Amino acid sequence: MELRNCMSLEKLPSKMRALRRLRIEYCPKIKGLTTQFAALKELEIRDYEGVESLEQISIESLESLSVYGCKNLGSLSQCLRALSNLTELYIEECPALEIEDFPALPITLSYFYLDNCPKIKSLPSQWHHLTSLQRLHIWDCQNIKCFRKGGLPPNLQILSIVGCENLKQPVTEWGLPNLTSLESLTIDGRSMGGEGEKEWFPSEEEDAWSLLFPSSLTSLDIYNMRNLERLSSGLPNHLSSLKQLGIYDCPKLRYLPEDGLPPSLQYLEILGCKILKDGCSKLTGHYWPLIQEIPSIYIEDVRIQ
């Protein structure tokens, strides 16, 4: 069931016990979510000014909860952990959502997406107990300063941390090498823990990659490393399963690994790294012999192979 742009609707229908999916979008006069949904599996709340808290959501059958653009939402339910069937949680563009102590999440959760919530100051407690969590995305949450003690969820497969500019915990303390199931990693220079890229990002030492990233990675995207000048020669040896590499907005990057990139690489994209452009030019660039075996190559939005 979908309720969209219902400008005059003030309350939800009272008999909806068999409903499996509900989407509420821009229904400004509805106040609260008090209706009982005994069989509801998916709930999406979008651009809903009437919701100020999710305390009333205690639907045990719920498997997916999505909250988008609720500008008056100020708190989450402390009972989230009791949603024993919840596997997906999306919270996006909720500017008033101010959380000092993020409530614990259910151990059934497999996908957690947090985007553009600038007042959230902490991440969920008992983080390392979320053994079912496979996908974690945290974007543009400027007030998050550190991860919880105990490390990241241990069975992550996809991790994306972007735009968390006040994250004070160095990447070297994230425990990424312990995430032996991690396949995809997206990271940017604003979320590095207050350290310059030269201090922590692999540059000279052969084993630097193994100190930062698990060898299980098949996809790596690097954004906004404004001072990064080179990728170390340890890259092809450690990330031997890497299939996709994206390097974006690294204006000082001028050196690729002398031994080339991993032979497993199938896709390479370099954007916003203009110093590298000529060096990677097809046939004439001095790095061309190192990358010519990669099936798909995009340099500055131009496909060269």
Largest Cα–Cα separation, the chain: 70
What pLDDT score does 277 carry? 86
What pLDDT score does 185 carry? 95
Give the SS3 label for residue 21. strand
Question: What is the pTM (predicted TM-score) of this model?
Answer: 0.88
Distance CA 249, CA 200 (A): 18
Residue 156 φ/ψ, nearest 5 degrees: -60, 140
Overall fold of domain 1-137: 3.80.10
Sign of CA dihedral 103, 108, 118, 33: negative
Q: What DSSP assignment string belongs to 192-212?
A: SSS--HHHHSSSS-TTHHHHH
Residue 267 φ/ψ, nearest 5 degrees: -145, 130
Distance CA 181, CA 222 (A): 19
pLDDT in tens, the chain (305 residues): 666 666 666 666 666 667 888 887 766 656 655 556 778 899 888 887 767 777 667 778 889 999 998 888 888 877 788 888 999 999 999 988 888 888 889 999 999 999 999 999 888 877 888 999 999 999 999 898 877 776 789 999 999 999 888 887 777 788 888 899 999 999 888 776 544 454 445 545 555 666 688 989 999 999 988 888 888 777 777 888 999 999 999 898 888 888 889 999 999 999 999 888 888 888 888 999 999 999 999 998 888 88
Q: Which amino acid is at 75?
A: S
Nearest to 157 by CA among 200, 201, 112: 112
User: In Å, what is the CA distance from 133 to each residue of 68, 113, 126?
Assistant: 21, 11, 12
Distance CA 17, CA 95 (A): 32
Map tokens 């490390």 to a residue: 151
Q: Residue 295 belongs to what H/E stretch?
A: none
- Residues forming beta bridges with residue 92, ordered by sequence position: 68, 115
Structure tokens at 250: 């690294």
Q: Are 125 and 146 in contact (CB under 8 A)?
A: no
Q: Which amino acid is at 241?
A: S
